[in-house]
Amino acid sequence: MSGPDEELQKVWQEGRANAAEQEISLMIRLVREKQRSFQDLSRAQNMTVYVLALSFAPLTGLGAWKGHPWIPFGLGYLIMTLALVAGAAVTWVAHRGMVRPIDLSVHDYHRQLLRWYDQCIRLTATSSYWFAIPLFLGASVVLYYPALRLLPGPWGLALLALLFLALSGYCIATSVRAVADLRRRKSEVQGLLEEMDRA
């Protein structure tokens, strides 16, 4: 016959095991929710690039093809077209692996999720330099001649340089904020995964 102490200890141990299982299950659900949130954010960023490229690349390509007596005008449109198409292509290549379902163990799956965060952080951090700045440079070349006609002399050039710097600065600042948000999200997921490893 077992005594009341043994039965009480058995109930207590079963309760602890159930609580640990429920805690791990809750953490897995939280990590999955963080992954869904990350994928939604990533999809929204991707769609922005795709819509921008699909909307303006044909127009800038037409401007480059049609040309203008002033050669840099067509060159500016060509730079803008190449930046838009390259931006869409790089975004598609970088994110196509993130939407595939993966058949890994839970631990490998979580490591893969952290790698996706790292990849998205790298892409977002560098996008101002390989996407936005060439785009605005092309726009500046296109607007150079009209700016000089609007404000002759150094004032037109100064206005154009100021516009280029303002737009580039805005894109860099936006990129810095987006990277900070992605790093915060990654650290939250990393914290949950560390808790799961301890449990």
What average pLDDT score do residues 177-198 get?
83
What average pLDDT score do residues 49-63 get?
86
Name the residue among 126, 170, 167 with its Cα closest to residue 143.
167
Parent domain of 176: 4-198
d(CA 195, CA 199): 6
Q: How confident is the model at residue 1 (pLDDT cuts 50, 70, 90)?
A: very low
Please give the residue that has the higher pLDDT: either 154 or 109.
154
Lowest mean pLDDT among 9-23, 60-74, 151-165: 9-23
Q: Which residue type does 43 have?
A: R
Q: How confident is the model at residue 180 (pLDDT cuts 50, 70, 90)?
A: very high
d(CA 121, CA 32): 19
Name the residue among 129, 131, 127 with its Cα closest to residue 56.
131
Please give the residue that has the higher pLDDT: either 58 or 17.
58
Domain count, the chain: 1
* Per-residue confidence (pLDDT) for residue 105, from 0 to 100: 66
* Per-residue confidence (pLDDT) for residue 113, from 0 to 100: 79
Helix locations, 67-105, DSSP H: 71-95
d(CA 128, CA 44): 17
* Per-residue confidence (pLDDT) for residue 111, from 0 to 100: 77
pLDDT digits (tens, 9 = 90+) for 2-53: 555 566 566 556 665 566 677 767 777 777 777 787 778 888 888 888 888 8
pLDDT digits (tens, 9 = 90+) for 79-115: 888 888 988 888 888 877 665 555 556 667 777 778 8
- CB neighbours (10 Å) of residue 70? 12
Q: Which residue type does 190 have?
A: Q
State yes or no: pLDDT of 120 exceeds 70: yes
Please give the residue that has the higher pLDDT: either 72 or 98.
72
